Chain A
């Protein structure tokens, strides 16, 4: 309302700042030539100006009605009496799986019949009011002209499948219905079996209609890249396919791959394994060259009811060389591993313990000096990644240097006097991961040398842990409600969308109870706009025929 007031004030000021000079033709016009400059020019914001014009107030009233229409655009009024009956919220699945061919038709084409059947099963004389929403990875409200079942069924075009996944959890947290529209039943029409949680929902009563039927389908279910844990480089990728509801393994199925250079390779699927109602197989494709790979299943259309999982496109990232800011004088390790030096934006920094670094940087601190004597272990963090494959029994004999713990560090492996051989930075938002090591391996590769084994293991454990913090560049992305069109490496490989094996599971039905229903509600803003039109028509009519006082 504050904004409305400000807008009104602005309109008044604008009106006063730009006065409408009414035109008159007078025989005495010559005698106005000597009049002073109009006051509106000297004082554009004359407070007396609006009082002098009746038409101004009419126009202002019309503007007020427009503002009211805008402000109350969500407001409704009761246009008819309610009575008793049921309020049904129809929720139609529009995920990609609804495009699955089933008996020659897409599943989405069965929605209208499913709704009609569900309603017809119940007491047909019962008065019901309907509202309609669509769901996939989001819930979308559809505005109906009225609340009849016919209005719902007429919106068949709206529930065309979208290349998105299904998020059934959104049905558990549906937005509150409009005030005054009691939802007594949720009618969910989908191709997913009814989940168990609906048994826990008492109100509104859920009527779950699974219109799916098991059909044969062959499709890609997973694409994984094999990554170097230290460099993140993808050297190959694996493609998994599933032949759902197949009576036997598809012997002739192959995968066509077109690599970055345009070279086409065809790889047959072998070694099928049977899992309940489907067969699974996979192939591994070498991806030495970074770039785009197009993948296409050589599948018989008769056995592929769902088409979004027949092709894919992935991108093998070009990066793979690790760039590190190595601040230690001994450079044997980076030279041996082929790490590149990068001081501006390295993957992580390696520096002597105590060096001041940017808190956001990932870092590996190396303690300096030597221990005076062996010491016992005070405590350690179980299952910590730094301690993987570490022989803790040998640690107490190694005379390793330890560091005093600061407020920013917490111990991973602590010796008896409270100092830490291994430590990590505390997890604080905005701070990069940090580890403290007692020293670096000397690269003797002597299997009998416990100290060398400990330092080598902890160094690579720390390196892996630091690199694990970097999210690997994905081979592909999935469609989202914001980007629903599959394009390039944006795929429709949402989990479960191509799974055509489950049997349909519908539960629930309409009861016979009646509830108080509100009257038919209609939006308020058309009334305000109609009133505005009437006021403007009256104003114009008065201006035309009402004499000079209305001009």
Chain B
């Protein structure tokens, strides 16, 4: 696994940009990050036994409440954001050979984790497939930055993970109310029970007001260019036997449609419409690819990644 490119300045820039810019609107069902003083009023609730009587709003109780009711002021709790980054390490993620998807996923996990740790967030790395042992690593605080990349390396490993075992156990514990779940994958899932469980977990997290993001790493444009047209014998994950195929423009279009429909089905199952989409360049047909530059450019301009680090803005 190649180490991530030198992009400390870019990451710091992204972090500062998130602090300085306010999220517009504040609408939507995503939780916003909430830090600092937790005296922000949320709402009045009828007093229930066990509530802190110090928070009874006597004035409001007398003005609005029923005679025998007291209204209690509630505040938005002070919450740290949890960034859960799930990395897909199935065999398809280890392709193409020039710059693999798992390589970019690892860099991306490192970059987002880096910003998160610098911002004081809790960062949890999660291996989606393979052995459950060591599939989760938690980091908190700037001091954890040093071990972040080595943690990612050991999490990803050096070989493709077994696509038949999915690590979803205990995921709820990793996703507290104020958390974002970023899944880095090519989403070439067979829609088998395991993938459906993943989709169900994403749906449940989303319904619990977690921010679920599909990080779609799409190598199809580069693979299409590498393959070209003509008589081809195609092999790869998910194809138990070599496929002999006369690749023409209409074949390309059909496969493209097939891929998009496949991903769309998964999105429907998980009811997730928040995603970022990184496409491998068609020019990447050789080995002389400046993957680091491409990674930095994508990271700098991706709106979803930037949005991940925006501070809570004022409503309206």
Contact = CB atoms under 8 A, between A and B. Distances in A.
Interface of A: 19-35, 38-41, 46, 49, 52-53, 547-549, 551
Given A24-B226, A24-B235, A31 B246 contact: no
Contact of A35 (B93, B236, B251): B251
Interface stretch (B55-63, B164-172, B252-260, B291-299): B252-260
Given A20-B231, A28-B259, A31-B258, 12 more contacts: A23-B234, A24-B223, A26-B95, A27-B92, A27-B101, A27-B186, A27-B188, A29-B236, A29-B237, A30-B238, A32-B234, A40-B231
A548 B232 CA distance: 12
B239 A33 contact: yes
Contacts of A25: 95, 97, 234-236
B286 A547 contact: yes
Nearest to B97: A25
Contacts of A35: 243, 245, 251, 254-255
A32 B230 contact: no
Given A21-B244, A32-B243, A548-B225, A53 B235 contact: no
Contact of B188 (A28, A32, A52, A53): A28
Nearest to A550: B228
Q: Chain B interface mostly helix, strand, loop or mixed?
A: mixed
B96 interface: yes
B227 interface: yes
A19 to B, nearest CB: 4
A138 B283 CA distance: 69
B239 A30 contact: yes
B89 interface: no
Given A21-B231, A35-B251, A29 B285 contact: no
Contact of B255 (A24, A31, A53, A548): A31
A547 B285 contact: yes
B35 interface: no
Contacts of B190: 30
The list of the 10 closest CB pairs from A to B, nearest first, reads A30-B238, A29-B236, A27-B95, A21-B233, A29-B239, A27-B92, A39-B246, A19-B231, A38-B246, A52-B230
Interface in B249-276: 251, 254-255, 258-259, 262
A29 B247 CA distance: 13
Nearest to B223: A26
A38 B251 CA distance: 10
B47 interface: no
Contacts of B228: 548-549, 551
Given A25-B95, A38-B246, A547-B286, A32 B239 contact: yes
B230 A53 contact: yes
A28 B231 contact: no
A49 B95 CA distance: 28
B150 interface: no
Contacts of A27: 91-96, 101, 186, 188, 219, 223, 236-237
Contacts of B93: 27
B232 A21 contact: yes
A24 B232 contact: yes
Contacts, number: 115
A29 B230 contact: no
Interface in B196-243: 219-220, 223, 225-239, 242-243
Contacts of A20: 231
A197 to B, nearest CB: 70
B227 A24 contact: yes
25 contacts: A21-B244, A22-B231, A23-B233, A23-B235, A24-B226, A25-B95, A25-B97, A26-B95, A26-B96, A27-B93, A27-B95, A27-B223, A28-B259, A29-B234, A29-B238, A30-B188, A31-B259, A31-B262, A32-B245, A32-B255, A33-B243, A35-B254, A53-B230, A548-B225, A551-B228
Contacts of A549: 228, 285
Contacts of A19: 230-231
A27 B93 CA distance: 7
Contacts of B92: 27-28, 30
Contacts of B225: 548
Given A24-B226, A35-B245, A549-B228, A30 B237 contact: yes
A34 B286 CA distance: 28
B191 to A, nearest CB: 12
A13 to B, nearest CB: 15
Interface centre among B95, B220, B223, B236 (most CB of A within 10 A): B236
Nearest to A39: B246
Contacts of A33: 238-239, 243
A82 to B, nearest CB: 52
A41 B246 CA distance: 9
Interface in B89-116: 91-97, 101
B231 A26 contact: no
Contacts of B254: 35
Contacts of B262: 31
A28 B220 contact: yes
Interface in B148-173: none
A301 B151 CA distance: 101
A524 to B, nearest CB: 35
Given A21-B233, A35-B255, A26 B244 contact: no
B230 A28 contact: no
Contact of A28 (B91, B94, B97, B236): B236
Contacts of A46: 246
A4 to B, nearest CB: 27
Contact of B236 (A22, A30, A53): A30
A40 B246 contact: yes
A450 B54 CA distance: 177
A548 B227 CA distance: 7
A35 B91 CA distance: 22
Contacts of B242: 23
Nearest to A50: B230
Contacts of B246: 38-40, 46
A282 to B, nearest CB: 83
Contact of B285 (A34, A39, A41, A548): A548
A167 B38 CA distance: 125
A19 B245 CA distance: 11
Given A27-B92, A35-B255, A547-B285, A22 B233 contact: yes
A22 B258 contact: no
Nearest to B240: A33
Contacts of A39: 246, 248
Contacts of A53: 230
A49 B255 contact: no
A298 to B, nearest CB: 81
A24 B285 CA distance: 12
A30 B259 CA distance: 9
Contacts of A551: 228
